[in-house]
């Protein structure tokens, strides 16, 4: 049984249909890439899963249980964490304070357990350890992305929804972020990844889906998609002769 099963959802922004019958699945332990141009419906798909938007029709199931229409808080408690595009950390809070906010939906973890979990995040993201008591507005884009990822993982999710984690980052930092995504999967967290950098996304993903104007137009093994002429032409910078 898929960990996440999206079945023919139609989601609207006001009167505009952003998703037109999107179906996709994510198996336990996978990294699945969701590709497409700006406005294709990638972020809307993640927001539909995390409860920030409610599909008008269709169904979303997590671990076999329907979650369509549930509140974001209820969906987080079930084991789904959403790291949105643009980091969206609280600039007036410290790194540690932002990370701890990720555990707000957990059932009152002890102070000792919280400290252990924060230390675990600094083990996964050693670059931000020296800034633990620094206000986040002082951090670089790459450091902020690591804080956002750590905050998302503090919810101890089974499924992590990642929206454009490489956006606005330098190439070396992008490689580092994608190595961290692979490490997250090794730790047992399944990942649904929205990413404009199709080459990097497909290089670490097991499978992928391509959206165009709110519809899935291609799907399959990540390496096959990486060698698909249409995907190459649209997202990877060239078509095979």
Q: Please name the fold of domain 1-79+159-178+189-236.
A: Rossmann fold (3.40.50)
Instruction: DSSP letter for 200, please.
Output: H
Q: Give residues with Cβ within 8 angstroms of 196, minimum separation 6.
A: 38, 164, 166, 167
229 Cα distance to chain centroid: 26
Question: What integer pLDDT is reported at residue 237 of this predicted model?
Answer: 61
CB 215 within 8 A of CB 21: yes
The C-alpha R_g of the chain, in whole angstroms, comes to: 18
160 Cα distance to chain centroid: 5
Per-residue pLDDT of the chain (241 residues; tens, 9 = 90+): 899 999 999 999 999 999 999 999 999 999 999 999 989 999 999 999 999 999 999 999 999 999 999 999 999 999 999 999 877 899 999 999 999 999 988 777 778 888 999 999 999 999 999 999 999 999 999 999 999 999 999 999 999 999 999 988 889 889 999 999 999 999 999 999 999 889 999 999 999 999 999 999 999 999 999 999 988 888 876 543 3
The Cα–Cα gap between 151 and 86 comes to 14
Question: What integer pLDDT is reported at residue 211 of this predicted model?
Answer: 95
Using alpha carbons only, what angle is made at residue 201 by residues 8 and 34, rounded to the nearest 5 degrees? 10
Helix, strand, or coil (residue 180) = helix
The Cα–Cα gap between 158 and 4 comes to 10
Using alpha carbons only, what angle is made at residue 28 by residues 26 and 33, rounded to the nearest 5 degrees? 40
Of 68, 207, 16, 19, the C-alpha closest to 8 is 19
- Which residues belong to CATH 3.40.50.300 in the chain? 1-79+159-178+189-236
Of 182, 229, 173, 214, the C-alpha closest to 201 is 182
Count of beta carbons in the 10 Å neighbourhood of residue 110: 8
The Cα–Cα gap between 227 and 232 comes to 7
Count of beta carbons in the 10 Å neighbourhood of residue 145: 29
Question: What integer pLDDT is reported at residue 239 of this predicted model?
Answer: 45
């Amino acid at each position: 049984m898929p960990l996440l099963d999206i079945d023919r959802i139609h989601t609207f922004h006001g009167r505009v249909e952003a998703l037109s019958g999107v179906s996709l699945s994510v198996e336990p332990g996978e990294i699945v890439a969701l590709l497409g141009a700006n406005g294709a419906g990638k972020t809307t798909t993640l927001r539909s899963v995390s409860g920030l938007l409610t599909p008008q029709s269709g169904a979303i199931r997590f671990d076999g249980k329907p979650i369509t229409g549930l509140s974001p808080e209820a969906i987080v408690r079930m084991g789904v964490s959403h790291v949105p595009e643009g980091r969206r950390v609280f600039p007036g809070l410290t790194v540690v304070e932002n990370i701890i906010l990720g555990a707000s939906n957990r059932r009152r973890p002890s102070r000792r357990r919280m400290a252990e979990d924060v230390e675990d995040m600094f083990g996964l993201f050693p670059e931000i350890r020296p800034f633990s008591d620094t206000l986040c507005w002082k951090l670089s884009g790459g450091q902020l992305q690591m804080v956002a990822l750590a905050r998302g993982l503090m919810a101890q999710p089974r499924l992590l929804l990642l929206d454009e984690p490489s956006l606005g980052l330098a190439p070396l930092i992008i490689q580092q972020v994608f190595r961290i995504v692979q490490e997250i999967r090794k730790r047992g967290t399944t990942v649904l990844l929205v990413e404009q950098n199709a080459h990097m996304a497909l290089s670490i993903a097991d499978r992928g889906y391509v959206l165009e104007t709110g519809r899935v137009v291609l799907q399959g093994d990540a390496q096959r998609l990486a060698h698909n002429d249409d995907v190459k032409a649209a997202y990877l910078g060239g078509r095979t002769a």
